[in-house]
């Protein structure tokens, strides 16, 4: 099983963080007891730029769950198609070559699901297997690759696609001036990523990896659920849409739990930390990345790709770790034979880890 290619797509509206902050302050000025708090919180998010689905001058033109979710459906189909086409083009495949599609998002819902709409639009096979996933949040990028890997492990002659689309800006609630909501409005951005998984008996899965054609092999995966932590992250869903639940306890849990989770995973595969050449981690935010660095005792710069993704795009929820993986795949692959650890954490609270070999 190999990661054959990754394609990404972003809305055309890209703004500096300070510009987004000023626009939100103007919209929420009568609801913010201390507007300077938004300035400070947004500066501390570690984000320089973000893509958002609609131009800033349209803020406030959508209200209520229905119209906002309709906009999400339209945007998800558009960005999803672009990301998938880029992933297909990268490895010379056509929609007809794909046997299964996994779709994940936590910023909108649809029935028929987004993957079904894309099957019609892109002419995927009529017998394609579809698995839409909702509710995993930030962990879903890594978990989605794991589930797609499970599929091609069972069907080694086939290809599968994971598509993640997150339009976080459509969940911003102007009536919610809580600290969690203000942080979220400064941290999360919009984007899509598609990953093509190749079974071992496909042309892409059977050829050896090389410096010129790096396609990391998925050696093993691990899902971990941390009991009684549901309160740390998620949504409260009501008639206005999605209201963020984001606890300040998240970095503490990462610090206390991630090391043992990683070491247990490596023990299961008769490996140790010293054998991992790189860590490909979800860009959860400065405090989460710092907690990962502390927990794993990583050297300076070890998570530079994750920090860069955060600066350039913000936290894209499930798509974030996929953009970091794309950076490694095309710009900083490991040398043939070395190992990488890919990982993300999200609502429940839970983690998903993948052991990759280049």
Q: What is the CATH number of domain 2-205?
A: 3.40.47.10
pLDDT at 212: 72
* CA gap 357, 335 in Å, rounded: 9
User: Under the phi-then-psi rule, with left for phi > 0, alpha for psi from -120 to 50, and beta for the rest, what region is 317?
Assistant: left
Q: Calculate what percentage of the chain has a pLDDT beyond 70.
A: 99
Q: Are 139 and 347 in contact (CB under 8 A)?
A: yes
Q: Residue 66, Cβ neighbours under 10 Å: how many? A: 11
DSSP strand pairing (217-225 vs 13-16):
unpaired
pLDDT in tens, the chain (358 residues): 999 999 999 999 999 999 999 999 888 877 777 778 999 999 999 999 999 999 999 887 888 899 999 999 999 999 999 999 999 999 999 999 999 999 999 999 999 999 999 999 999 999 999 999 999 999 999 999 999 999 999 999 999 999 999 999 999 988 888 999 999 999 999 999 999 999 999 999 988 776 677 899 999 999 999 999 999 999 999 988 999 999 999 999 999 999 999 999 999 999 999 999 999 999 999 999 999 999 999 999 999 999 999 999 999 999 999 999 999 999 999 999 999 999 999 999 999 999 999 9
Catalytic residue annotation: 138
The beta strands (E) that lie in 272-348 are given as 276-281, 339-346
If one looks up domain 213-357 in CATH, what number appears?
3.40.47.10
- Which pTM value belongs to this model? 0.95
Q: According to CATH, where is 3.40.47.10 located in the chain?
A: 2-205, 213-357
Note the pLDDT tens digit of each residue in 84-112: 999 999 999 999 999 999 999 999 999 99
Assigned token pair, 112: 């028929």
pLDDT at 205: 92
What pLDDT sits at residue 173?
Answer: 87
pLDDT of residue 211: 64
């Amino acid at each position: 099983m190999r990661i054959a290619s990754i394609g990404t797509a972003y809305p055309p509206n890209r703004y500096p963080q300070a510009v987004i902050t000023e626009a939100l302050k103007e919209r929420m000025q009568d609801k913010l007891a201390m507007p300077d708090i938004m300035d400070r919180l947004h500066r501390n998010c570690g984000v320089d730029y973000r893509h958002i689905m609609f131009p800033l001058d349209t803020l406030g033109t959508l209200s209520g769950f229905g119209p906002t979710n309709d906009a999400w459906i339209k945007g998800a189909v558009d960005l999803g198609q672009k990301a998938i086409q880029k992933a297909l083009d990268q490895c010379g495949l056509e929609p007809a070559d794909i046997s299964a599609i996994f779709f994940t998002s936590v910023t909108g819902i649809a029935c028929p699901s987004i993957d079904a709409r894309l099957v019609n639009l892109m002419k995927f096979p009529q017998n394609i297997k579809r698995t839409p996933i909702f509710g995993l949040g930030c962990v879903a990028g890594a978990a989605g690759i794991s589930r797609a890997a499970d599929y091609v492990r069972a069907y080694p002659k086939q290809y599968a696609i994971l598509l993640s689309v997150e339009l976080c800006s459509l969940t911003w609630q102007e009536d919610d001036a809580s600290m969690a909501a203000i942080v979220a409005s400064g941290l999360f951005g919009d984007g899509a990523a598609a990953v093509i998984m190749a079974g071992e008996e496909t042309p892409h899965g059977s050829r050896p990896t090389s410096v010129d054609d790096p396609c990391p092999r998925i050696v093993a995966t691990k899902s971990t659920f941390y009991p009684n932590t549901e309160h740390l992250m998620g949504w409260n869903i009501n008639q206005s849409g999605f209201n963020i639940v984001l606890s300040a306890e998240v970095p503490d849990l990462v610090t206390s739990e991630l090391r043992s989770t990683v070491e247990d995973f490596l023990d299961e595969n008769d490996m140790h930390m010293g054998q991992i050449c790189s860590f490909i981690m979800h860009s959860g935010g400065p405090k989460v990345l710092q907690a990962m660095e502390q927990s794993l005792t990583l050297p300076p710069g070890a998570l530079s790709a994750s920090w860069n993704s955060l600066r350039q795009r913000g936290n894209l929820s499930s798509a974030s770790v996929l953009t970091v993986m794309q950076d490694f795949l095309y710009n900083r692959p490991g040398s043939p034979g070395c190992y990488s650890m890919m990982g993300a954490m999200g609502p429940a609270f839970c983690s998903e880890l993948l052991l990759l070999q280049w």
